[in-house]
Amino acid sequence: MSDTTYDVVVVGGGPSGATAAADLATRGYAVALLDRDGRIKPCGGAVPPRMIQDYDIPDTQIVARIRTARMISPTGRHVDIPIENGYVGMVDRENFDEYLRVRAAQSGATRLTGTYTKITRDAQGTHVHYRDKTSGETLSLCCRMVIGADGARSKIAAAEVPGGEKIPYVIAYHEIIEAPEATTENYNPLRCDVIYDGRISPDFYGWVFPHGKSASVGMGTCVDGVDLKKATADLREASGLAACKTIRREGAPIPLKPLDRWDNGKDVILTGDAAGVVAPSSGEGIYYAMACGTAVALATARHLRTGMAKDLKLARKMFMGEHGQVFKVLGAMQNAYYKSDMRRERFVSLCHDVDVQTLTFEAYMNKRLVKARPMAHLKIGIKNLAHLSGLVSENHV
């Protein structure tokens, strides 16, 4: 066994871990980024303009620019929502995650490939043990801090952070397919389709997201016993994509709620999916993962300087201070509308409202609730109550 000493070891090289590693390395800390390599998370790949700007994402990583979102109800009705004054960018996680890991290395982080096994401690410090991918040897890294960026069912969270084993999640599955050459009624390379249909997902949604020459088709659910592959096959059939060549298949848990605590008060802090920062209702995670990585890097750097446990809590405080209200609203929407096809039908009807469309995408593009239009919010609230109470029929548009 050999030990190399670092200030920080980041376990997991997805968007959150890679962002935290790059930030800390840029600040001059000795950082190791440990990643399993070869694992690609199932993800629609949508990223907002704010993320592209905030994190200086190059055009080469944007494989498509979406101009319209289509919401499809259980009865097949749809609402096309134009994305005005901008676009939703699409990335392919196979290339995007590696780009972020390379950028972390260029910032000064040491990249290591292997599988995390455990954390131990002795008089010399905290030791991260892993199995090296190339040699198969069990090695360890000595450090002052560990950042757990190892996903929704984080081994680090379960072992090191109180309550870390209790994170709720959906299981997501998607297939990356070759995109059809021609635009059809069911597929448009400039449009994301979101399918609210209990036959595809009884408690979440399905999606068809273009990626330029390819597309992501998938769904998610919390319900045990759902055949994810069959549901995705049914979605491909309904979308006219059954004959398209399948490039790869991926499945993984997606967290539904931020953990109440992200650190152990000493030498471990969580980030990204391990901390539970995926938006309810939408399942959006890439931007929030990177924003979380930034907050965790700042808190970690402060803790390394002061040694004070309270500094580690700064990460969650910062993140939830900016995004907690959005998560609360989206969580309430998911609880209200995802429980039955009748409610999903009403939700799609609500999406016909121009104020709903405008405020939804203003919030998505800028990653904050829009407060400048109080009468629009009041109007939406009244309509929302009417739909939930049944005062508006599901056929009302």
In-domain check, residue 268? yes
212 token code pair: 């330029």
Confidence at residue 354, expressed as pLDDT on a 0 to 100 scale: 74
Confidence at residue 280, expressed as pLDDT on a 0 to 100 scale: 84
Domain carrying residue 139: 6-42+93-167+256-323
CA dist 282 and 70 (Å) reads 14
Domain boundary among 232, 255, 278: 255
**In the chain, where do the E strands start and end?**
3-11, 31-35, 46-47, 64-66, 68-72, 78-82, 88-90, 110-122, 125-132, 138-148, 169-178, 191-195, 206-211, 214-221, 246-255, 268-270
Domain boundary among 255, 272, 287: 255
141 token code pair: 């890294």
The per-residue DSSP string of 308-347 comes to -GGGGGHHHHHHHHHHHHHHHHHHHHHHHHSS-HHHHHHH
Confidence at residue 83, expressed as pLDDT on a 0 to 100 scale: 82
68, 73, 89: which is closest to 188 by C-alpha? 68
In-domain check, residue 49? no
Confidence at residue 364, expressed as pLDDT on a 0 to 100 scale: 65
Same domain for 15 and 98, yes or no, is yes
Confidence at residue 366, expressed as pLDDT on a 0 to 100 scale: 64
Q: 182: which residues sit within 8 A by CB, 6+ positions away?
A: none
Confidence at residue 167, expressed as pLDDT on a 0 to 100 scale: 84
Confidence at residue 365, expressed as pLDDT on a 0 to 100 scale: 66
**Total count of domains within the chain:** 3
Confidence at residue 363, expressed as pLDDT on a 0 to 100 scale: 64
Same domain for 292 and 362, yes or no, is no
Same domain for 131 and 229, yes or no, is no
Q: What is the mean pLDDT of each run of 10 residues along the chain (397 residues)?
A: 82 97 98 89 88 94 94 94 85 94 98 97 95 94 97 95 89 94 90 95 94 94 93 96 95 91 97 93 89 98 96 97 87 86 89 71 62 45 46 44
Same domain for 163 and 187, yes or no, is no
In-domain check, residue 60? no
In-domain check, residue 395? no
Same domain for 71 and 191, yes or no, is yes
Q: Specify the CATH number for the domain of residue 35.
A: 3.50.50.60
Domain boundary among 255, 270, 299: 255
What phi and psi, each to the nearest 5 degrees, are found at residue 79? -125, 125
Same domain for 97 and 21, yes or no, is yes
Same domain for 228 and 364, yes or no, is no
Same domain for 97 and 28, yes or no, is yes
Specify the 3-state DSSP secondary structure of 59. helix
Under 8 Å between Cβ of 324 and 352: no
Residue indicated by tokens 């498509």: 64
Q: 135: which residues sit within 8 A by CB, 6+ positions away?
A: none
In-domain check, residue 337? yes
Same domain for 151 and 81, yes or no, is no
Confidence at residue 388, expressed as pLDDT on a 0 to 100 scale: 42
Confidence at residue 359, expressed as pLDDT on a 0 to 100 scale: 62
Q: 145: which residues sit within 8 A by CB, 6+ positions away?
A: 7, 8, 9, 126, 267, 268, 269, 300, 303, 304
Under 8 Å between Cβ of 52 and 135: no
Q: Specify the CATH number for the domain of residue 201.
A: 3.30.9.10
Strands 138-148 and 268-270, sheet pairing = parallel
In-domain check, residue 32? yes
Under 8 Å between Cβ of 347 and 212: no
CA dist 268 and 270 (Å) reads 7
